[in-house]
Structure 1
Amino acid sequence: MTNLHYGKCWLRVVHAPAKKAEGKHWEGNTHAAFFFDGRVQKPRLYETVEFSHGTLVFQAELGAFVEEPVCSTEPVLREPLGLSDSWWESLRADIATVASVATKREAVRQEWVDRCVPEFLGIDPPEITEWETAHGDLHPANLTRETPWLLDWEGFGLAPVGYDPAMLLAYSGLVPPMAERVRKEFPILDAPAGRTARIVVATELLQSVSRGDHPELEPSLRALALGSE
């Protein structure tokens, strides 16, 4: 849409029952704007408005419009991208900036790890000893091809060190050249902390696979977690 003051904009509207119109995802974009607008390649959030209708609460967010195409129209990457060195430099810098921000928001919880890693991987759950702030949903559909812009910030929060690169790696498993480039650009993935992040991300996506999402990823996810990739 076009706004007379801001020009081209994205309008995002969500709704929830009044008792559930709160929490991490409801407040995520507003909090992300406070921490990251102007600091990383993130579309600015201009305005947020909430209003009620009956038993529902609606939230409307007006944000900057990004012209660039995304790396993929779905989270799973299915073809090589040929991204520039400057693209990777920008992404590394932005992930480092995000990681340096202190927050009490949680993207991953140790309790979830303790419960789900044995269920979906059949191994003992790792204890997360190194934490940092993460975008929380860093897959190819949330990255543009040129800048790159990082999109969809509502889930950001504390996660294991290396979580964002591990997420990008997991969703790139069907395209070996991209997976290899992710590992090259983010050596943390092969450090002990990065292995923990890979286990956590693989568990999350295997849980999604169990619900019918992207079953084709299962072999590469198990290899990612168990170290046989």
Structure 2
Amino acid sequence: MRTHHAHTAKALDVQVEPGAEFWGWAGRTLGAPARTTTGAPVWLRLVSAPEDKASGKLWDGALDAQHAFGDLDGHRPALLAVHDAVDDGTAYRAELSVRVDQPALSDDPILQHDFQLPDSWWTDLAGTLEKVSAVDTDRVAVRQQYMDRAIPEFVGIPAPAVFCWTTAHADLHWANLTEPLRLLDWEGWGRSPEGFDAATLYAYSLLQPDAAARVRAVFPVLGSLAGLAAEATVCAQLLQTVSRGDNLTLADPLREWATELRRRLGR
């Protein structure tokens, strides 16, 4: 990965800054700060996959997002260039983006420590997600078949009816947000039940009651009939990860959320 990252930097004519590299899950991605020949700060991210798997929603997420959203009025780092290569059965895609100078709000997707964000930040987030939701796409982030299977298994209710399918970032947690507001990591965006992003952020806020309450206040779809399908889907998704040994600190509040969802349906 380091070798191909260096080759890509040369191909895209950028200079990687020494001493800083950031690895994604299982070494699948490698990112590092860099600068263009004019000194502009950029971010160079390399993703790898077996050659026969190098396609589809996750592979093309950043490129599709650039075409669909641009920079979202400055709230999304613009994608500047893409470089593809294949070596010995492995495909590599490099994505050169505008660098975000602010660190993510959390090192962990789960909010471990509460902090105060200005009202303007929440207003920007709500407005940005509304713009995202209005974009038409054939990309799918949540499938009805998954909901029909996972919600009864992990939440204990039939999959609620989806009143409206909208476009979502679909991975809206605290490690993908900055202040001032930037939304990071657009691999998995696509169509989801209305309120899916709000429900996801709420789920990752459950250890901090004040933050969770603020998410609910900013996104009134949560707690409504229209948002029930999204809430049940996110709850099922994360309870499924708990069953696999991940996100264990969320286990109890997720089960409490599932109980609330069953109560709302009279189950």
TM-score tier, shorter chain, comes to over 0.9
TM superposition score normalised by structure 2 = 0.82
Structure 2 counterparts to residues 37-52 of structure 1, below 5 A: 37-40=70-73, 41-52=75-86
Structure 2 counterparts to residues 65-214 of structure 1, below 5 A: 65-144=99-178, 146-214=179-247
- More off after superposition, 113-122 vs 84-93: 113-122
SS in 2 for 1:67: coil
Does residue 62 (structure 1) correspond to residue 96 (structure 2)? The answer is yes
Structure number with larger C-alpha Rg: 2
- More off after superposition, 114-123 vs 163-172: 114-123
Q: Which amino acid aligns with 1:139?
A: H
Pick 1 or 2: higher relative contact order, CA cutoff 8 A, min separation 6: 1
Q: Tell me, in whole angstroms, the C-alpha distance in 1 between the residues paired with 2:51 and 2:237.
A: 28
Structure 2 runs not aligned, ≥5 long: 1-33
Q: Tell me, in whole angstroms, the C-alpha distance in 1 between the residues paired with 2:103 and 2:161.
A: 38
What do residues 89-113 of structure 1 show as CA deviations (whole Å, max 9, x unaligned)? 1000100000000001000000001
In the TM superposition, what is the alpha-carbon distance from 1:38 to its structure 2 partner?
2.9
Q: Work out whether residues 37 and 44 of structure 1, in 8 Å CA contact, stay in contact via their aligned partners in 2.
A: yes
In the TM superposition, what is the alpha-carbon distance from 1:5 to its structure 2 partner?
4.5
What do residues 132-179 of structure 1 show as CA deviations (whole Å, max 9, x unaligned)? 0000000000000x2210000110000010000100000000000000
SS in 1 for 2:41: strand
TM superposition score normalised by structure 1 = 0.95
SS in 2 for 1:198: helix
Q: Tell me, in whole angstroms, the C-alpha distance in 2 between the residues paired with 1:224 and 1:163.
A: 15
Q: Tell me, in whole angstroms, the C-alpha distance in 1 between the residues paired with 2:93 and 2:163.
A: 36
Q: Tell me, in whole angstroms, the C-alpha distance in 2 between the residues paired with 1:3 and 1:209.
A: 42
User: Closer, same or farther in 2 for the Cα pair 1:17/1:6, shift >3 Å?
Assistant: farther
Structure 1 runs not aligned, ≥5 long: none
SS in 1 for 2:158: coil
